[in-house]
Each structure stands twice: as C-alpha cells, then as structure tokens.
Structure 1
Amino acid sequence: MLRYTLMRLGIFAGCFVVVWGAVYSGIFPRGFGDANFLWVLLLSMVLSAPISWVVLRKERDRASVRIVQKVDRVKANLEANRNQEDVADDAARAQGQTS
C-alpha cells in the first residue's frame, strides 16, 4: 500500500511541476490574485487522478489483494479466539454442573 501511495504522490508531483510550468509560461491561465498556487494545486489534482487510475491499475490491484488477505487473516484469528472462549466457557459450565 505504501508503494502505491508513493507512486501516486510521484504522479501528482510530476503533474504539479508540469502545470506550474504551463501556468507560468502562459499556456494555462493564471489564478485570480493570490489564488494562483491553489489553482495550480487543484489543476494538478484533477490531472493526476485519471493518470493514476490508468497507470497504477496493476499496483492498485496488488494492494487490494494484500488488504483482502490481511482482513481474511484477522477474521480467522478473531473466529479462532471466539471458538477458544466458547470451549473454555463450556468446559467451565460443565465442571460447575458436575461439582
């Protein structure tokens, strides 16, 4: 998951540099007054999202598989703990009834 996040951040940073260069060279319009940085940031986010969606598809699928495996492992551990508690509780009740 960290790898995907870093790759996505890298794509955003690349888009930011390209948009910043395009705005300051006059290819893209400048923002109003002091909002120029916000304009560049917003435009970079809008451009990097679809690029990340297409370029990082395989990495996103790998991260998804790892997350599902981890969730399944945690569920199995919880179920195992729940079963151990049930067995211990049944044993204690059975011992209490025989005494």
Structure 2
Amino acid sequence: MASENFIGLSVVSGFFIGLIFAFIGFNEPENIVFFTLVVTAIFYLIVISGISLFNWFISFDAKRFNKEQLEDNLEYYVSQFRKKENELVYVLDYIKRVELEQEDQEK
C-alpha cells in the first residue's frame, strides 16, 4: 500500500473512531467536535511518524541491471518478432494465391 493511501485510511479511521467515542462520552457539540479533531490529529501524527521511521530505516536501494544482457534479450525478441512477421507474410501470400486460384477456377 502506498504511503499516501495508508495516511488517508488512517486519518479517516481516526476521524470515525474519534466521532464514535465523542458521541459516547460527551453531550455538548463543541466537545464532540473538539474530541473528534484531537483524535484525528493523534492518528495522523502516529501514522506520519510510523511512515517516516519506516522510510528512514528501510533503504530502498536502486536495483542495478545488466545493460548488455537487457540489450541481448531485446535483440532476441526483435529477431523472434521478425521471424513471426515473415511467417505471417508467407501465410498471407499463400492465402492470396489460393483465393486467386479459386477465382480463376470459378470463371
């Protein structure tokens, strides 16, 4: 899950959890709004801290790849595509010849 999605999910969860506990614990609307905002902010700070620590301690090193091997693989695939294309051209030519022969026989 992407960091932004995790933050969004946690903030929305914190909002609804805060709202539920605010309705249970308080009767005045100002207290309900204040408690909900506080709980949402606490969830946000916890998640931001967790993601920051995760990104700080987990290193995402760039993977290096072998350029020559990649080029060789691509050349192989290009040659295979050419071979298939030539086979397809041969088959299409054969079909054209057969159709022409059928037309000549019908005349």
TM-score (structure 1 length as normaliser): 0.50
Task: Give the equivalent residue in structure 2 for 1:67.
Answer: 77
Q: Higher relative CO (CA 8 A, sep ≥ 6), structure 1 or 2? A: 1
The AA in structure 1 aligned to 2:98 is: A
Instruction: Please list every run of 5 or more consecutive structure 1 residues that lacks an aligned counterpart in the other structure.
Output: 1-30
Residue 72 of structure 2 aligns with an amino acid whose one-letter code is: R
What per-residue deviation string (whole Å, max 9, x for no partner) do you get for residues 34-73 of structure 1? 5727x837x23xx11xx22xxx011011101100110001
Q: Give the aligned CA root-mean-square deviation in angstroms.
A: 2.4
Distance 2:71 2:80 in 1: 14
- Identity %, equivalent residues: 7
Q: Which residue of 1 aligns with 2:50?
A: 33
Unaligned runs of 5+ in 2: 1-47
Residue identity matched to 1:66: Y
- In the TM superposition, what are the counterparts of 1:8-27 in structure 2 within 5 Å? none
Structure-2 residue corresponding to 1:84: 94
